[in-house]
Amino acid sequence: MLPTSENPSGLLTAIRIQHSISSDNGSKAPINESSLNLFNQAWLNRLDDNPTVIRLLNNVPPIDEHTLCLLVLELFQKQPSLFAVPVVNHLNHPVGIVERNSFVETFIRPYAKELNAKKTIADFMNKTPVIVDKETSIDDIARIIVDAGMQHMVSGFIATDEGQYLGIANGHNLLTEITQRKQANLFKLAHFDQLTKLPNRVLFLDRLNMAIIQSERQQSQVGLLFIDLDKFKHFNDSMGHSFGDELLIAVSERLIECARESETVARLSGDEFTILLDNVKSQADLDVLCNRILDSMKQPLRVMGREVFITVSIGSAMCPSDDDKSAGLLVKADAAMYEAKRSGRNAYRHYVTGMNLYSYERMTLETDLRMALERNEFELYYQPQVLLSSGKVVGNEALIRWRHPLRGLLPPIHFIELIEESGLIVPIGKWVIEEACRQQVIWMRSGLEPMCMSVNISAMQFYQSDFCEMVKSIVIESGIQPEHLELELTESVCMHDVGSVLIPLQELHDFGVKLAIDDFGTGFSNLSYLNKFPIDRLKIDQSFIRHIESEPVNIEIVRAIVALGRSMSLELVAEGVETDNEMDLAESCGCEFVQGYRFSKPLPADQLELWLSDFSKKNS
């Protein structure tokens, strides 16, 4: 290349940028603030992949730097869509670019053709083209366009592969690409859940509507699964929201594994997921998927380095048999899910006519719940716990009931999650402790043999800063012996960061109150946390005890829990013992205490007194 006045050294002064502007070695063009602002959003909205210029390259054959202008003019005239021509030297390295419009314009002037036609293109080309490596990201190129006052929109970008000319990209195309990606990203924001990346409610409803329309045409059926995590709230409250978020991601991945590619898995809100199946032949198709999901949840999920077990409750409904509108279908699948929860969770149910439509019920329940405490609508029922070696009742668990003015007596499955979600668990939970202590003192004063009173504590209650003080003052005011009060906590409470849990637990323990882990075995598979805390008893979850005789693996699990408990000198309670067989097996596995329908269902205080005297007569 010959030295010119613009390029005295004869060296190419093109901007060469590497793979990424931010990682280059200082040769990048300065970027002013307004250009940054303009494209900031584009960078922020960067999609996972970061497209490079290579995919926008036009295969424009380059011309040699000695080519005559006349030939270049002819080239442009023959190819109206050619926006620029790259110029290369004898090594095939790009040395300039000829931009169509400005080049052609120079020849419009009188005599220009005659004067210039025989000159070489080197005199007319732009000698400072933007040359980029083929891997340069489109975002980076956008910065150059803006920085150069859009100049490179016109002339374009030359891309090289190790210095060799590779192709030329139009600046317009590059910006269009960015705009489209921004739009795609906006679409993503509006239609996909940011956390799990699953379709959100909007997109899901859209797909559901489409599927319904299609099914009408094809006379086929659409299936809808409504999936809700069991006790998600416990995890969220006790382990913190980041843990809850990671758990939701892990669940969403599990659901995707269970579903076929043609089935849409979506996250509706919170811990609610849906799956849309089109072309369903019968309910059996839905059964298959429901079973697959329930089975898959038996495997632990890995969340923040821990193994976690969580179950789901699933409701399903079909279009058109259950409803032919998307909103109706959702409400019905939701109602069926609620039935699955009522049946004890970790189950699925299909919608059948007459099921309570949960959303409506839930709404009114929430309103009613706010008044229930003032109106004294809560009651405690008590379920005895028996020490197998002596055959005596050694304790009772207080279980809340709500005597709803219209719906009658409701067990906690109908309202406990609502209470927790609404924060009402704090005052209602306090009432439970007060009432249970009051009852315990009455029983002790009436001369009944010493028993312990167990009270369930929600994670949210436990994390109240004044929880310990509250318990202590109730104990003192009621006159209950601290060792006659046992607090049942869930496993997830103990998994919270050790420091914040240990202090209140230790304080309560030092005060004399007993501590138990409820529903043990359903939360985390990593049990090493146990010996960090001053716990007295483990209550083995009823799902391991129920049908223990027909599920040999349960025996193994119970034995393992017993061995673990014993190694830490913990007492072991088998929950949900319904039959003699279950009782015998629980005993043979090493459980010392049992609780369950085998002895008694939870009863109101006065009925329990009758039952107790009956029971002690039979056993004396």
Question: Which residue ranges make up the site for ligand C2E (CB under 6 A)?
Answer: 383, 399-400, 411-413, 416, 429, 432, 456-458, 488, 518-519, 542, 575-578, 595-597, 602
Q: For residues 87 and 573, which CB has a smaller minimum distance to ligand C2E in the complex?
A: 573
- Tokens 């189950």 belong to 347
Residue 316, binding choice from ligand C2E, Mg ion, none, Cβ under 5 to 8 Å by partner class: none
Residue whose C-beta lies closest to ligand C2E: 596
Interacting stretch for Mg ion, rule CB under 5 A, among 71-79, 204-212, 279-287, 452-460?
A: 452-460
Q: For residues 131 and 493, which CB has a smaller minimum distance to ligand C2E in the complex?
A: 493
Residue 65, binding choice from Mg ion, ligand C2E, none, Cβ under 5 to 8 Å by partner class: none
- Tokens 């436990």 belong to 462
Residue 147, binding choice from ligand C2E, Mg ion, none, Cβ under 5 to 8 Å by partner class: none
Query: CA 265 to CA 258: how far, in whole Å?
Result: 10
Residue 432, binding choice from Mg ion, ligand C2E, none, Cβ under 5 to 8 Å by partner class: ligand C2E
Type of residue numbered 87? V
Residues 254-288: b if buried by 16+ CB within 10 A, e if exposed: bbbebbeeebbbbbbeebbbbbbbbebeeeebbee
- Tokens 């017993």 belong to 562
Q: For residues 520 and 533, which CB has a smaller minimum distance to ligand C2E in the complex?
A: 520
Question: Of 471, 463, 393, 465, which Cα lies nearest the Cα of 432?
Answer: 471
Give least dist CB 511 to ligand C2E, A: 20
Our measurement of the distance from residue 130's CA atom to the centroid of its chain's CA atoms, rounded to an integer in Å, reads 44
Q: Is 230 in the site for Mg ion (CB under 5 A)?
A: no
Give least dist CB 398 to ligand C2E, A: 6
Give least dist CB 429 to ligand C2E, A: 6
Q: Is 519 in the site for Mg ion (CB under 5 A)?
A: yes
Tokens of 166: 């590779």
Q: Give Cα separations from 372 to 274, 407, 408, 602 (angstroms).
A: 32, 13, 13, 21
Site string for Mg ion, 466-495 (x = CB under 5 A): ----------------------x-------
Q: For residues 207 and 598, which CB has a smaller minimum distance to Mg ion in the complex?
A: 598
Omega of the bond leading into 86 within 30 degrees of 0 (cis): no
Q: For residues 127 and 349, which CB has a smaller minimum distance to ligand C2E in the complex?
A: 349
Give least dist CB 547 to Mg ion, A: 17
Our measurement of the distance from residue 197's CA atom to the centroid of its chain's CA atoms, rounded to an integer in Å, reads 9
Our measurement of the distance from residue 286's CA atom to the centroid of its chain's CA atoms, rounded to an integer in Å, reads 23
Is residue 290 within 8 Å of residue 225, measured between CB atoms?
A: yes
DSSP string, 343-405: TTSS-EEE--TT---HHHHHHHHHHHHHHHTTTT-EEEEEEEEEETTTTEEEEEEEEEEEEET
Give least dist CB 577 to Mg ion, A: 12
139, 518, 582, 592: which one contacts Mg ion (CB under 5 A)? 518
Tokens of 53: 């210029």
Q: What is the DSSP letter of 126?
A: B
Q: For residues 199 and 429, which CB has a smaller minimum distance to Mg ion in the complex?
A: 429
Residue 554, binding choice from ligand C2E, Mg ion, none, Cβ under 5 to 8 Å by partner class: none
Interacting stretch for Mg ion, rule CB under 5 A, among 41-49, 85-93, 244-252, 519-527?
A: 519-527
Interacting stretch for Mg ion, rule CB under 5 A, among 39-47, 81-89, 291-299, 513-521?
A: 513-521
Residue 399, binding choice from ligand C2E, Mg ion, none, Cβ under 5 to 8 Å by partner class: ligand C2E
Residue 400, binding choice from Mg ion, ligand C2E, none, Cβ under 5 to 8 Å by partner class: ligand C2E
SS3 598: coil
Phi, psi of 123 (to 5 degrees): -80, -15
Interacting stretch for Mg ion, rule CB under 5 A, among 126-134, 162-170, 437-445, 573-581?
A: 573-581
* Alpha helices in 446-486, H assignment, sequence order: 459-462, 467-478
Question: Of 552, 553, 573, which Cα lies nearest the Cα of 562?
Answer: 573
Strands 514-520 and 264-269: unpaired
Is residue 65 within 8 Å of residue 1, measured between CB atoms?
A: yes
Interacting stretch for Mg ion, rule CB under 5 A, among 45-53, 178-186, 449-457, 473-481?
A: 449-457
* Cβ-based neighbours of 343, under 8 Å, separated by 6 or more: 349
Residue 361, binding choice from Mg ion, ligand C2E, none, Cβ under 5 to 8 Å by partner class: none
Q: For residues 171 and 576, which CB has a smaller minimum distance to ligand C2E in the complex?
A: 576
Tokens of 244: 């809850």
Our measurement of the distance from residue 547's CA atom to the centroid of its chain's CA atoms, rounded to an integer in Å, reads 33
Q: For residues 396 and 542, which CB has a smaller minimum distance to ligand C2E in the complex?
A: 542
Give least dist CB 188 to ligand C2E, A: 39
Our measurement of the distance from residue 429's CA atom to the centroid of its chain's CA atoms, rounded to an integer in Å, reads 28
Residue 412, binding choice from Mg ion, ligand C2E, none, Cβ under 5 to 8 Å by partner class: ligand C2E
Residue 230, binding choice from Mg ion, ligand C2E, none, Cβ under 5 to 8 Å by partner class: none
- Tokens 């408990």 belong to 565
* Alpha helices in 446-597, H assignment, sequence order: 459-462, 467-478, 491-495, 498-511, 542-545, 552-567, 580-589
Type of residue numbered 116? N
Tokens of 302: 């890995």
Residue 173, binding choice from ligand C2E, Mg ion, none, Cβ under 5 to 8 Å by partner class: none
Q: For residues 322 and 575, which CB has a smaller minimum distance to ligand C2E in the complex?
A: 575
Q: Is 543 in the site for Mg ion (CB under 5 A)?
A: no
Give least dist CB 586 to Mg ion, A: 14
Q: For residues 233 and 332, which CB has a smaller minimum distance to ligand C2E in the complex?
A: 233
Q: For residues 131 and 457, which CB has a smaller minimum distance to ligand C2E in the complex?
A: 457
Q: Is 456 in the site for Mg ion (CB under 5 A)?
A: yes
Residue 596, binding choice from Mg ion, ligand C2E, none, Cβ under 5 to 8 Å by partner class: ligand C2E
- Residue 490's CB is within 10 A of a number of other CB atoms, namely 23
- Residue numbers at the binding site for Mg ion (CB under 5 A): 456, 488, 518-519, 575
